[in-house]
Structure 1
Amino acid sequence: MQNMREPSQKSTPELRSRAPKRQRGHDRVAVLLEAAAKVFCEKGYDAATMTEIAAEARSSIGSLYQFFPTKPLLAEALHVERLERLQGVLKELEGRMDDSSAADIGEAIFDRLGAFLDEFPEFVVLAGRRDIPKDRKARSRAELKTRIAAILARAKPPVTDEIALLSSIILELLRIAVAAATDPDALEDQQLIRELRLMLRKRLEEASIRC
């Protein structure tokens, strides 16, 4: 009989998400992930339960555990899926930035991040987890930095000599912006984001002049 309790991550470190082999399985996983997104957003990661997620997906708890044996594995699968979407957003932005100034590119990246967070508010919850695998976190960071660098490479005048540094700065500011989004109603957070954007624009304008 399927264990109805949420498995302990520490007692079963070898557990992994099970990839579906048929379209029906892919569809089922998609429903489970969207249900998890809603529950994580409403309850928060720590308070959310697998039972609530299964109920939101109108699925049995056994079906949920079949694909995701633990809540951290479910959250990680959803986080990776959302990161892939973010990569797609940045790739699409890259195609529209020809001949834009570096400062305008920085503004555009921040604007698209804001739109992304509005569409996928659970991303903030997922990014704030304490159990994110370190290797995946480093890999995702490197991939996002590469994508940002590709966008900056379109800038006119070019900022070629400082692309690596500027990409790191933008990525760090984006991380701060995501963290600040945990409390979007706080006036201090809104002021912080505005100041960060002004600082970024000034830095990018200076880079354009120097290069």
Structure 2
Amino acid sequence: MNSGFEKTGKLPRRIPQQERGEQRKATMLEAAAQLFARLGYEVTTMTAIAEKSASSIGALYQYFPDKETIALALRKQYSDEMDNRWTALIEIAAGLNIAELGERIIDLMVAFLHEHPAYFCLLNASLKYKRSDQDRLRLRKRFAAVIREKQPAMNSTDSLRLAIVALEIVKSLNPLYAAATKAERVQLVREYKLALVSYLQLKLAV
């Protein structure tokens, strides 16, 4: 029986109720993600999520009133994680040449898609989720700043336009990658790296 204690060395540590609640929510979200990836959003039920997470249906409803709330929580979680990955890449971008930067961007997206297969079905699910224009513009401006580091003579308007086009190239990989076979995905990644690197090199050539 879970008494709310966790062993840490010699003495048990009392796990705060709020921490236990966050752990339980994380387990439920992970179970839902696995089911969404395997069965699809529409087919997955709250009952299946409860069973997968070893929770009672009542406990699940205590944290999430419906399936859409779970899906929206996952979308928010994925969005935050993607932002963190972009932040990490942007922080080292100054030390990368243009080819390395373009390839790292595609690798970032591919790694994320592999680690979160539920992302595919949630992109196509009918959810009341929309990334704010402010968040979208913030990423574009940050990438535009990276571009100006590579080409200081470029003005802010041109660098922002280049950033938008480059990010749309990356975004277009998602549906093609989702529908492709394993072998075809390897080819797609190669082609997208070529396309993105070639575009960046052409536009940033001194």
Report the TM-score, using the length of structure 2 for normalisation.
0.78
Partner of 2:60: 64
Partner of 1:170: 166
Deviation of residue 54 (structure 1)?
0.9
Give the gaps of 5 or more residues in structure 2: 1-16
Structure holding more helix per residue = 2
CA shift in 2, pair 1:74/1:194, >3 Å = same
CA shift in 2, pair 1:154/1:80, >3 Å = farther
Alignment check: 8 A CA contact 1:100 1:154 kept: no
Query: What amino acid sits opposite 1:148 in the alignment?
Result: F
- Computing the radius of gyration from Cα coordinates, the structure with the larger value is 2
Comparing 196-205 with 65-74, which one deviates more in the overlay?
196-205
CA shift in 2, pair 1:186/1:25, >3 Å = closer
Q: How many residues align?
A: 188
Q: Structure 1 vs Structure 2: percent identity of aligned residues?
A: 32
For 1:98-117, what aligned pairs fall within 5 Å after superposition? Answer: 98-117=94-113
CA shift in 2, pair 1:54/1:165, >3 Å = same
Match of 2:140 among 139, 145, 153: 145
1:131-154 Cα distance to aligned partner (Å, 9 max, x none): 2423x3545533443443354454
Partner of 1:121: 117
Report the TM-score, using the length of structure 1 for normalisation.
0.77
CA shift in 2, pair 1:94/1:85, >3 Å = same
Deviation of residue 43 (structure 1)?
0.6
1:208 to 2:195 alignment: no
Match of 2:74 among 66, 78, 93: 78
CA shift in 2, pair 1:143/1:38, >3 Å = farther
